[in-house]
Amino acid sequence: MKYNFDQIVDRSGTNALKLEGYKGYIFNSYDSLDLPFNDDEFIHMWVADMEFACAPEILDAIKKRVDRQILGYTINSDSRLYDSLSKWCKDRYDFTFEKNQLVTSNGIVLAISNIISYIVNEDEKVLFNTPAYGQFAVACDKNNRKYITSELTKDEKGYYSIDFDDLEKKMSQSDVKLFIFCNPHNPTGRAWTKEELEKIGQLIKKYDLWVISDEIHCDIRRKDAPRHIPLGKVLTDYDKLITCMAVSKSFNIAGLAESSIIIRNENLRKKWKFYNKSAVNPLNHEATIAAYTKGSDWLKECNEYLDDNFKYLDEFFAKNLSKAIISPAQTTYLAWVDFKEYFEEDEDLELFFAKLAGVLIESDKTFVDHANRMVRLNLACPRSYLEEGLNRIADAINNKHKEKFIG
């Protein structure tokens, strides 16, 4: 490989949320939480950023911008972002959009929260599928808006599907205004098929819903998975669609927090621009453009490395934790694992693995509904790091009844 994904990068002293913020984020506790491991002894398989060094092409672009010596107020005034993103989308997904539809945001979660405040009234509701990324609910709660959910169905092998009867029932409710669609789906890793997307599109149009398509994970793909299909390719002329994309997950630059939001509706764009000025962070902006223009080789090798990590995970669990159900991975670098055969309902898995394994994970408390005894494992890490984490997890579970664990 051209890039070294086996490299262990020292993140100590960088104020990394993954290392420094786990007590508050996972356990809603800070110094009061007593764990039998020092901070530097944990294996971090929780929050969705990678343990891989950023692509040197991106770092070079940031350095070049720093060398200009001034980091003043910056705006997205030229066409470079549009040119790079539109070419990326056309080449990879055969998806096109107009330049005037593109705005930027300091993260997709912030964009979703803002859009909810702009288009959903206090007596109206937001709909999304579950299990769901927890920030969808947080965005609703912060805006004092209610949400309802439609549960995905899961077969005995952990493969998730859309319950279209239930989804239509929820969409048809007169007070449902907005559907947040995770495409591809986090945390289950589903890549939606063309048939599924067309069916969703028909329902959205039938009930005249606003829809946010969160496509942040679209560039991370297993080699045997179908090509990503933006919802905008299915709803080709639907005015109430907002598409959210970013390089933050794909290229491990989440801390830079620039996202691309494609808003078709002219009135919503005017409202967005009124409340969100055109300023961008100069370093974030250059990093984003560099990722789209120079990052394809790095991303290709990253996806190949992740394919091997998922293969290792499957083989390890088959040998050591055969009762666990791993949802078939099609997208993301996050494995979704059902541990119901090893734990009682409502056991605190996050605390269990932290105390007995020294591994930090995200479990049901991080997600919205239908995630009991489910664990999301971040596999975007060097193989040696993954091996250590999985060995600790297996040892903790296989010795579960030999240890005294107090949740």
- The answer on pLDDT for 406 being more than 70 is no
pLDDT at 403 over 70: no
Does 364 have pLDDT greater than 70?
yes
Give the integer Cα–Cα distance in Å for 366 and 353: 15
In this predicted structure, the answer to whether residue 370 has a pLDDT above a threshold of 90 is no
Q: pTM for the whole thing?
A: 0.95
CA 75 to chain centre: 26
Q: Angle between the 383-398 and 349-356 helix axes, to the nearest 10 degrees?
A: 100
Structure token digits, residue 329: 């991975």
> Which residues are within 8 A (CB) of 397 and not within 5 positions of it... i.e. 6 or more apart?
321, 339, 342
Question: Measured between alpha carbons, how far is 260 from 288 in angstroms, rounded to an integer?
Answer: 9
Percent of the chain with pLDDT over 90: 92
Farthest CA pair distance, the chain = 63
- Among candidates 392, 379, 393, which has minimal Cα distance to 50? 379
Q: Are strands 259-263 and 279-280 parallel, antiparallel or unpaired?
A: unpaired
Q: Read off the tokens for 89.
A: 């989308």
User: What mean pLDDT value characterizes the chain?
Assistant: 95
Query: Which alpha helices (DSSP H) does 224-281 contain, by range?
Result: 231-234, 266-275
